[in-house]
Each structure stands twice: as structure tokens, then as C-alpha cells.
């Protein structure tokens, strides 16, 4: 099997080897280095904008006034930021702890054990254990290893690629997926109403219960000897409809808001939620898919569990909904399938790497 580790060692191996300088493939371009700071110092800054926290306790309240206030706050955050901390989201904290422990236990295995689950990106087999292969002309790599797999709908899963260790991995991940799928329906309903649409409209447009895919990527960011030179994940927007993220309470997520990088604080018992490109397109830009990236550090391993809620690749044409397009507000995005949108982003990224870079 051809794996990414044939070309480059796993980042975990680099981290544990005792190197003091990271390989040149991981060093970011100069204009990025100008704004990569110490994440522990960044997260302590109190001034300036902060990622909003949305309390979902009253999202289905019988008191219409209370319910409306909760929903309005969520819609406002989706329009202004496109990212938020969700609290009182309805997923039990003990289940979230078990999901975290299961993912941690897999990454605690020796690398040779994890390699038994290696993906094969060259042949298109993206599920499994992997590391970022450079997909642009500059040959840039990211300081992370990961485990990627489809977790819902259950009939579309390939359990043969799922970790067998720990023994409860499948059970806890499957239960989390079911509850997260229900949460996605609630969020999409509120976002639909916030656009003046019928409650189920956005969910229908992204594939509904049968077709919307939940893909989990466990991101493992080892300690980095030169964190000021590297990124765990380079700046990007998510192509998904929604993305839900758990983490191990080590900071690293940064959002590009109003022309500056803002470091997200770690909010206990929260799930970070991003609006993805898919919902931004359907809403004709009313909801924002925010540019974000991941910092690394010298002291602590960071792990995050990102679940991307994605429409089917070919079945649905993504374009601004007709009700949201007027002469005053023409469509901001051309019609594309989800697969075409992904290809477009990868092509643009490759083109960007071929031209001289400009500082922010």
C-alpha cells in the first residue's frame, strides 16, 4: 500500500524524534510568518472581538419569546461570524468525554499499529490514518496527522477501516454521530427560518436524512519545536454545509474576522460550529463561511474532532436559492455540484501557489 508516510514521515514521528528544527516543507511563507504568534499568549488577550457563544437551551422552548431570542442569536452569529461555540447543545458531556477518550486512545497506539489503518490517497482511498500530502505547487505540508472516516448515515459506513482499539470506539462514535445528526437538523431549521424560508428547506437542499454525509476527521497536532514557523492547518474555509468540532481544551483555532486573526478561547462543554461554503452559497452569502486556520505549540498535543456535514457530491446543484435572489441582490455564486465546488477550490489553491504571494 502506498501511504503518505512513504514520502514523508508521520508528523508524530518528527515530533518525537527530538529535532530542534522542522523540515523546510513545514515552514510557512514569509507573509504568514508575520502573523503567527504564541497561541497561549494569543488566547489570553481580552481585548477585541470574541467568537460568540450561543446557548441552545431554549432553542425549542414552549415560550415563543424565549425561543425566538435564542434563534435570533444563532442567526445573527451565522451572519456576522459564521462560527460559534454551542453550549447546552443536548449531547451528554459523558458521551463527549468518551468520544475524546476513544480518539485519544487510538492516537496513543504505537505508530506501527496506526499504520495498519493507513489510507491510500494516491488511489483515492481517503478513509483511515493519514498525513497531509502537499496538493499545491509550493509543496507545503501541515503539522498534523489525522484519522478520517464517514460516520453517518450508518448504511454508508465502512466499519472495516474504523479503529478496533479501543474496543468501544465504534459504539461511542456511532452514538455521537446519531445525536450530532439530530443537532444538525435543528440548526438547519433555525437557519432556514432566519432566511424567511420554510423550516425544512436547507436540510432538503443539502440532501436530507438519506443523503447528507457526516465525515469525521480526528486531527492530531503533535508538539512542534518551532511553532512560530508552522501551521497545524493552513487558512481555509470548510466546503461543508455545517462543521461541528470538539477539542481537548488546548487552544489553536484562529478565525479571520474583520481583517485580523482572532484566537478562539476554549469554552468548557461546548461544540464549535462553522457555517460551511455549502450554506453560504445556498444563502447567497447571507450566512458566512469564515476563513480559519490552526496554530500549533511546543508544550501540548492538540486534538480536535471535526465532523463535516456534506451534501452528496453529484446529486445536488449548489446555487443561491431562488427566493434569495433579486435584481438588487443577484446570485453571488455560479451553479456547481459539490464535487465541482471542491475541484474549483483546489484549482484556485494551486493557482494561488504559482503566483507571487502578497502580504495581508
Which residues belong to the active site?
Answer: 217, 236, 238, 292
Give me Rg for the CA atoms of the chain: 20
- Distance from C-alpha of 86 to C-alpha of 97, rounded to nearest angstrom: 16
| Sequence-separated (6 or more) residues with CB below 8 Å from residue 107 | 12, 114, 145, 147, 218, 220, 303
CA atoms within 13 A on the CB side of 275: 29
Pairing state between β 292-294 and 336-337: unpaired
Pairing state between β 128-131 and 145-152: antiparallel
168-188 burial: b if 16+ Cβ within 10 Å, else e: ebbebbebbbeebbebbbbbb
**Peptide linkage before 153 cis (omega within 30 of 0):** yes
CA atoms within 13 A on the CB side of 81: 23
Q: Please give the sequence-ordered ranges of beta strands (E in DSSP) within the chain, or none if there are none.
A: 53-55, 83-87, 128-131, 145-152, 213-221, 233-236, 242-247, 253-257, 260-263, 271-275, 292-294, 302-310, 317-318, 336-337
Instruction: Output DSSP code: residue 118.
Output: B
Whether residue 11 contacts residue 131, with contact meaning beta carbons closer than 8 Å, is answered with: yes
Q: What are phi and psi of 166, to 5 degrees?
A: -75, 165
Amino acid at each position: 500500500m502506498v501511504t503518505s508516510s512513504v514520502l514523508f514521515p508521520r508528523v508524530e514521528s518528527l515530533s518525537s524524534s527530538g529535532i530542534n528544527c522542522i523540515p523546510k516543507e513545514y515552514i510557512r511563507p514569509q507573509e504568514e510568518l508575520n502573523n503567527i504568534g504564541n497561541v497561549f499568549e494569543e488566547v489570553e488577550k481580552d481585548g477585541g472581538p470574541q467568537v460568540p457563544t450561543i446557548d441552545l437551551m431554549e432553542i425549542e422552548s414552549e415560550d415563543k419569546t424565549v425561543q425566538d431570542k435564542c434563534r435570533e442569536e444563532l442567526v445573527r452569529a451565522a451572519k456576522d461570524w459564521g462560527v460559534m461555540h454551542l453550549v447546552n447543545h443536548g449531547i451528554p458531556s459523558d458521551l463527549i468525554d468518551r468520544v475524546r477518550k476513544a480518539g485519544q486512545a487510538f492516537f496513543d497506539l504505537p505508530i506501527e499499529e496506526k499504520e495498519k489503518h493507513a489510507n491510500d490517497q494516491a488511489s483515492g482511498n481517503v478513509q483511515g490514518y493519514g498525513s497531509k500530502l502537499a496538493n499545491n505547487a509550493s509543496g507545503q505540508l501541515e503539522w498534523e496527522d489525522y484519522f478520517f472516516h464517514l460516520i453517518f448515515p450508518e448504511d454508508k459506513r465502512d466499519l472495516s477501516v474504523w479503529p478496533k482499539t479501543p474496543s468501544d470506539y465504534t459504539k461511542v462514535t456511532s452514538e455521537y454521530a446519531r445525536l450530532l445528526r439530530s443537532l444538525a437538523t435543528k440548526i438547519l431549521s433555525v437557519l432556514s427560518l432566519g432566511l424567511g424560508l420554510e423550516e425544512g428547506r436547507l436540510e432538503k437542499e443539502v440532501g436530507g436524512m438519506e443523503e447528507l454525509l457526516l465525515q469525521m476527521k480526528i486531527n492530531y497536532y503533535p508538539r512542534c519545536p518551532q511553532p512560530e514557523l508552522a501551521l497545524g492547518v493552513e487558512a481555509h474555509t470548510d466546503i461543508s454545509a455545517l462543521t461541528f468540532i470538539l477539542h481537548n481544551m488546548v487552544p489553536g483555532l484562529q478565525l479571520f474576522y474583520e481583517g485580523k486573526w482572532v484566537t478562539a478561547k476554549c469554552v468548557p462543554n461546548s461544540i464549535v460550529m462553522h457555517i460551511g461554503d455549502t450554506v453560504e452559497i445556498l444563502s447567497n452569502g447571507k450566512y458566512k463561511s469564515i476563513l480559519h486556520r490552526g496554530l500549533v505549540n511546543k508544550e501540548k498535543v492538540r486534538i480536535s474532532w471535526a465532523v463535516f456535514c456534506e451534501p452528496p457530491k453529484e446529486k445536488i446543484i449548489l446555487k443561491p436559492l431562488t427566493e434569495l435572489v433579486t435584481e438588487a441582490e443577484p446570485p453571488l455564486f455560479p451553479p456547481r455540484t459539490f464535487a465541482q465546488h471542491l475541484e474549483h477550490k483546489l484549482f484556485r489553491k494551486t493557482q494561488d501557489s504559482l503566483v507571487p504571494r502578497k502580504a495581508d
